[in-house]
Amino acid sequence: MTERSTNGQPLLEVRRLKKYFPVRSGLFSRVSAWVKAVDDVSFMIQTGETFGLVGESGCGKTTVGRTILRLMEPTSGEAIFEGENIFQLDAKTLRTRRRRMQIVFQDPYSSLNPRMTVGSIIGEPLVVHGLAKGQELTERVYHLLQRVGLRPEHYSRYPHEFSGGQRQRIGIARALALNPKFIVCDEAVSALDVSIQAQIINLLKDLQEEYHLSYLFITHDLNLVEYLADHVAVMYLGKLAEVAPVEALFTEPKHPYTQALLSANPLPDPKATHERILLPGDVPTPLNPPSGCRFHTRCPRVMDHCRTTEPPLIHIGKPEDRHTVWCHLYEN
Amino acid sequence: MTSTPVHTDVTLSSETLAPPETPWQEFWRTFKKDKLALGSTVILIGLLIVGLSGKIFTEWIVVFDTEVVRLPDKFKPPLSTPSQGIIPEQDLPALGLYLLGTDELGRDVFARMLQGSFVSLSIGFVAAGLSMIIGVILGALAGFFGTVKIFKLVSVDTLIMRFTDVMLCIPTFFLILTVVALLPPSIYNIMIVIGLTSWMGNCRLVRAEILALREQDFVQAGKALGLPEHRIIFRHLVPNAMSPVLVSTTIGVATAILTESALSFLGFGAQPPHATWGNILSDGKGFIFDAPWLVMIPGTAIFVVVLAFNLVGEGLREALNPKLRRR
């Protein structure tokens, strides 16, 4: 799989990504500890696929998304996007590569500059990258507005005149302006109410088909992932627990954490009963993560060597299925 | 029951739509709704014309002579006529009467006010403008590049903010006095010195605003879109941080005019016999009971300018902030 050929090559391959945040304290603000927000994460995203990244709050999902786009500098690791390591690009090349990868944010209220009109928010990337100006610029912005389900007369309005869902559409139009191949949706619909969520999700699906986009869909909503994603990664405390095709993950989850997570997911049928796997305790602090397997403090199937040895990557089935789990239970 | 389709596929050309408003048209449309601010702008523009004509008619084409001393006519109240027969023909005031009275040397206060208006207004504008520009630039740099280290030793933020603290520690007025005493006495030096010693408040305001704004997603979005840093700072951050600065600058104009008056009072301002509103006021102070107009006239003029500036500032703040606009 590491062999790169023109057709089998993944759009994005993240290898051993680490992001540690320093904790400073004392008189000279020395670095006294590191928060290991993302610790050795590897996965790959194929062209045209939606890759879901799930996990509870604070497990490092957002940090993964933002380091891939170099909105934060990674501590170490590689992110190969279309054959190039994003983490090694100099500022100038990075600026041109940014046209290929974009982000849609969670909070539609803080993600738009309150002092710019919708037209200039969406048109700005086109102007800065020298892609359009004058009449052509206006036309392209009108087209984008229409494409995301807004009306051309919204062009000269300000963000505060819109509802959350409409603002999220503006954010999507801005991300689409540069015609990217890959979009990170960082909890893109969690701030919206359910009916609007459905509209935005369908918009994202339509756009994916039309522009052959790949998404990294970061969320904590398992139902969304099941509906939208092709491939899912489950994160726990800065590390991946399991990566699997969506059907495999939801029908036969392997990692005990995935199993617990799925059992906590509410079902739409109020009469349906299913066994809840209740995890004892809280998520440990990423400042001082547990030794061995990070999940061992709460794992219902913990074994002795889980406490001391880090679990290796184990393929379930054939490697082409891209179903991997990091758990001692599946050794041999 | 008719349902409207969600996506109407109308092909659009810009001919079907009115061209979007330019930011200036929009700014003007909202600004002119605020009658107080609009009136104040008119007053300020009027004062600027007065200031310019003052410069022209008292110094280049001398219509109103500020330097004629008429001792028999000292302390004449406003609108009084010159004493017939005593004042020589060529020393009579241009309008045939003392429009704003005379001072302790019998000089025409109207002519002196005209001459002073140019100096006072330009000091207000230049000094406050300079302090705003320096404050905004330094504050934006400190806020945006906060943690970037210079020579791996101090961060940009520490460097700029400690320098600001140092500047704040120095008693500004004495610094101005020292600098003005060392430099050749010129009105331009005074403007620049006042500007260079009053930017610290603006700098702190802008830095604080930018520190808060920097974490907002729209800045991250700008970064993700590959916008150059200067564009993120000056197009996205600074406009959002300007409201407190605009208010502080309008007050700064007033302070600068008053600082110049204080300097004039101590003899470091514009050199006599050149008149400024400040030195007319401070000279007249000694005769406040005998000739109250000597204090009232420049005092009122300063008050009007300061008030007009504050109202314009308020109007600007409103017109530049989309959320405060009433459509």
Q: pLDDT tens digits for A28-71?
A: 777 888 898 998 899 999 999 999 999 888 888 999 999 999 99
Out of A111, A128, A158, name the one closest to residue B322 (CB).
A158
Q: What is the pLDDT of residue B5?
A: 45
In 3D space, the residue among B248, B265, B237 whose CA is nearest the CA of residue B205 turns out to be B248
Question: How confident is the model over B271-288, as a mean pLDDT?
Answer: 83
- Please tell me the distance in Å from A246's CA to the nearest CA on chain B: 29
* A135 contacts on B by Cβ (under 8 Å): 14
Which one of B220, B232, B323, B325 makes the best mutation probe of the A interface by having the most chain A beta carbons within 10 Å?
A: B220
Q: Which tens digits make up the pLDDT trace of B37-71?
A: 889 999 989 998 998 888 888 888 887 887 788 88
- Is some CB atom of chain A closer than 8 A to the CB atom of B149? no
The amino acid occupying position A196 is I
Answer yes or no: do A69 and B14 touch at CB < 8 A: no
- Is some CB atom of chain A closer than 8 A to the CB atom of B19? yes
Answer yes or no: do A174 and B26 touch at CB < 8 A: no
- Please tell me the distance in Å from B307's CA to the nearest CA on chain A: 27
Half-sphere exposure (Cβ direction) of A242: Cα atoms closer than 13 Å: 26
Collapsing DSSP to helix, strand or coil, B114 comes out as helix
Q: What is the pLDDT of residue A32?
A: 81
Asked whether the predicted pLDDT for residue A274 surpasses 80, the reply is no
Q: Which tens digits make up the pLDDT trace of B288-302?
A: 898 899 989 988 998
Asked whether the predicted pLDDT for residue B119 surpasses 80, the reply is yes
Q: Is residue A16 very low, low, confident or very high in pLDDT (cuts 50, 70, 90)? A: very high
Q: Is residue B18 very low, low, confident or very high in pLDDT (cuts 50, 70, 90)? A: low
Out of B21, B23, B224, name the one closest to residue A98 (CB).
B224
Answer yes or no: do A103 and B7 touch at CB < 8 A: no
A127 → chain B, closest CA residue: B227
Q: What is the pLDDT of residue B23?
A: 67
Asked whether the predicted pLDDT for residue A4 surpasses 80, the reply is no
Q: Is residue B1 very low, low, confident or very high in pLDDT (cuts 50, 70, 90)? A: very low
Question: How confident is the model over A155-173, as a mean pLDDT?
Answer: 91
- Please tell me the distance in Å from B178's CA to the nearest CA on chain A: 37
Compute φ and ψ for B310, nearest 5 degrees.
Answer: -60, -40
CB atoms within 10 A of CB A8: 10
Q: What is the pLDDT of residue B264?
A: 78
Q: Is residue A249 very low, low, confident or very high in pLDDT (cuts 50, 70, 90)? A: very high
Q: Indicate the range of A2-16, A285-299, B125-139, B311-325 predicted with least confidence.
A: A2-16
Q: Indicate the range of A90-104, B1-15, B149-163, B217-231 predicted with least confidence.
A: B1-15
B21 → chain A, closest CA residue: A156
Asked whether the predicted pLDDT for residue A169 surpasses 90, the reply is yes
Q: Which residues of A73-90 are buried (b: 16+ CB within 10 A; e: fewer)?
A: ebbebbbbbeeeebbebe
Looking at per-residue pLDDT, the higher value among A92 and A27 belongs to: A92
Looking at per-residue pLDDT, the higher value among A24 and A212 belongs to: A212
Question: How confident is the model over A191-208, as a mean pLDDT?
Answer: 91
Question: Rounded distance, CA A298 to CA A282, Å?
Answer: 8
User: Which ranges of chain A would DSSP assign to H, the alpha helix?
Assistant: 61-68, 91-97, 118-128, 134-147, 164-176, 194-211, 222-228, 246-251, 256-263
Compute the CA torsion angle A138, A141, A146, A148 (nearest 10 deg): -170
Question: How confident is the model over A209-233, as a mean pLDDT?
Answer: 92
**CA dist B60 to A281, B55, B198, Å?**
87, 7, 33
Peptide bond connecting A22 to the previous residue in cis, omega within 30 degrees of 0? no
pTM of the complete model: 0.80
Asked whether the predicted pLDDT for residue B17 surpasses 70, the reply is no
Q: Indicate the range of A114-123, A140-149, A173-182, B101-110 predicted with least confidence.
A: B101-110
Q: Which tens digits make up the pLDDT trace of B159-209?
A: 999 999 999 998 888 888 888 888 877 788 888 888 998 999 999 999 999
Asked whether the predicted pLDDT for residue B263 surpasses 90, the reply is no
Asked whether the predicted pLDDT for residue B136 surpasses 80, the reply is yes
CB within 8 Å of chain A, chain B residues 225-244 = 225-228, 231, 236, 239-240
Asked whether the predicted pLDDT for residue A200 surpasses 70, the reply is yes
Q: What is the pLDDT of residue B8?
A: 44
- Please tell me the distance in Å from B211's CA to the nearest CA on chain A: 15
Asked whether the predicted pLDDT for residue B3 surpasses 70, the reply is no
* A178 contacts on B by Cβ (under 8 Å): 225
Looking at per-residue pLDDT, the higher value among A212 and A5 belongs to: A212
Question: Rounded distance, CA A213 to CA B155, Å?
Answer: 41
Q: Which tens digits make up the pLDDT trace of A283-313?
A: 888 888 888 899 999 998 888 889 999 999 8
Q: What is the pLDDT of residue B37?
A: 86
Could you identify the residue written with the tokens 């300097």?
A: B263
- DSSP secondary structure letters along B206-233: HHHHHHHHHTSHHHHHHHHTT--HHHII
Question: Rounded distance, CA A14 to CA A245, Å?
Answer: 17
Residue B303: both structure tokens together: 């008050």
Question: Rounded distance, CA B158 to CA A104, Å?
Answer: 34
- Is some CB atom of chain A closer than 8 A to the CB atom of B216? yes
Q: What is the pLDDT of residue B324?
A: 66
Q: What is the pLDDT of residue A79?
A: 93
Q: Is residue A115 very low, low, confident or very high in pLDDT (cuts 50, 70, 90)? A: confident
Question: How confident is the model over B115-121, as a mean pLDDT?
Answer: 87
Q: What is the pLDDT of residue A156?
A: 86
| Residue A71 DSSP code | S
- Please tell me the distance in Å from B207's CA to the nearest CA on chain A: 18
C-beta pairs of B283-289 under 8 Å, 24+ apart in sequence: B283/B103, B283/B104, B284/B103, B286/B104, B287/B75, B287/B104
Asked whether the predicted pLDDT for residue A251 surpasses 60, the reply is yes
